[in-house]
Amino acid sequence: MWGGRFSARPADIMQAINVSIGVDRRLWAQDLAGSRAHCRMLAAQEIITAADAEAILGGLDAIEADIRDGSFPFRDQFEDIHMNVEARLAELIGEPSGRLHTARSRNDQVATDFRLWVRAACDAAVEQLKGLQSALLVRAEQHAGDLMPGFTHLQPAQPVTFGHHLMAYVEMFGRDAGRFADARTRMNENPLGAAALAGSPFPIDRHMTAAELGFDRPMGNSLDAVSDRDFALESLAAASICSGHLSRLAEEIVVWMTPQFGFVTLPDDLTTGSSIMPQKRNPDAAELVRAKTGRIMGSLVALSTVMKGLPLAYSKDMQEDKPPVFEAFDALTLALGAMTAMVSALQPNTERMREAAGSGFSTATDLADWLVRELNLPFRKAHHVTGAAVKRAEAMGVDLSQLPLSELQSLEAGVTEAVYKVLTPEASCASRQSFGGTAPEQVRARIAEWKTRLA
């Protein structure tokens, strides 16, 4: 394609390191969309004739048909998706094909194609997140009042409901969807028309191509337009945070499925067995979701490293922008799908969770709160009294609700029988009526709010 300047073909090693069609062929739909918009704009501005535009658009339609039916000849000799399309267009329509590249460069072309791809990937991630949130909402509503232990440091802390626990992830994934949407808003500017780096002397209409491609506006600086990959980095950052949330939920499913916890089970079709131990039911889907996080976060680091220190405008380093983005979104798509399937299919053992909710002196804070509320003790004193009560109950091998009143009164004389009303897990949960708390009424209120938001 640059035979006028070069007299020798690329060395084999140059071809090997330079060719990218194996990766960027995924951009074919975006490349055709950008080429069509550019062609129509060139014709509207009378930079090319209507006849040439018609021939070009017809050729692009033929190329799309070939790609869709699998007959398009992707060839390494043409290096990337852009030159593959251009070369095939020349074979199909001849001389008019050469006019399509007027007033554009591969620099603004790839920036446009890649931005379109990432924008669509963000949209798809938002839709998948909504599906996962909907699955969580169904489960949360079913179990809005079912008790389980709440943990800090993975130690029993206070009773919560299973629905409340699941709703925490609804909130997290809602923020993830917001991050993808925010990234999409910032990336929705059109690089096309920036050409190689300085713009074009032809009377192009960048607003026209921006509108046709669904962008809000053209990018305002031609140097920035061809060299910016913020949109990819920001999307990878959103994907990394999202994958972290997926990993946390996956870890909980792994823990919950152990016999020691026994909180949930997954069906046969979402678990695996062992080649040697016939009793095993392994939560491999959850473990693999957890592992995908490393690939997604690694992709962010990889692209950040590629981009750091690059001078303006375009450098061939930026050809390495697509593999980490493609890999990250492939992994995220799979992880979101797997997690949605697991949430939809998991079966909670509500009796086991209820039993565990009262373990580990989980109502100790309720005792301290009762001392403050009913006996007007300063909280720090109430905390000290409660700690002593826990120590006494532990020594006697009983729970706080089974500690004799005389023992409690020996620690604080004003304690009455009424204290036992707050020392059950049910009473503890029901009392957390503050906004966002675990009281079933609060959980159901948040479920209703999120149903409305997702609808």
Q: Do 77 and 69 meet the contact criterion of CB atoms below 8 Å apart?
A: no
Q: How many residues does the chain have?
A: 455
In angstroms, the CA 87 to CA 344 distance is 48
Report cis status (omega within 30 of 0) of the bond before 111: no
In angstroms, the CA 96 to CA 105 distance is 17
Q: Do 226 and 217 meet the contact criterion of CB atoms below 8 Å apart?
A: no
The DSSP letter of residue 71 is -
In angstroms, the CA 275 to CA 287 distance is 18
Tokens of 8: 């020798």
Helix axes 106-142, 81-93, angle to 10 degrees: 120
Q: Which stretches within 266-359 are classed as H helix?
A: 284-307, 322-345, 350-357
Pairing mode of beta strands 189-190, 217-218 = parallel
- Tell me the Ramachandran region of residue 446: left when phi exceeds 0, alpha when psi lies from -120 to 50, beta otherwise: alpha
Tell me the chain's radius of gyration from C-alpha atoms. 30
* Catalytic residue numbers, as ranges: 153, 274
Can you tell me whether residue 361 is helix, strand or coil? coil
In angstroms, the CA 148 to CA 351 distance is 9
Tokens of 162: 């299973």
In angstroms, the CA 218 to CA 356 distance is 58
Task: Give the CB-side neighbour count of residue 442, counting CA atoms within 13 A.
Answer: 18
Q: In whole angstroms, how far apart are CA 63 and each of 32, 58, 82, 419?
A: 9, 9, 12, 78
Task: Give the CB-side neighbour count of residue 45, counting CA atoms within 13 A.
Answer: 18
Q: Given 3-state DSSP classes, what are the helix, strand and coil percentages for the chain, each rounded to the nearest 5?
A: 70, 5, 25
In angstroms, the CA 25 to CA 193 distance is 22
Tokens of 91: 């074979």
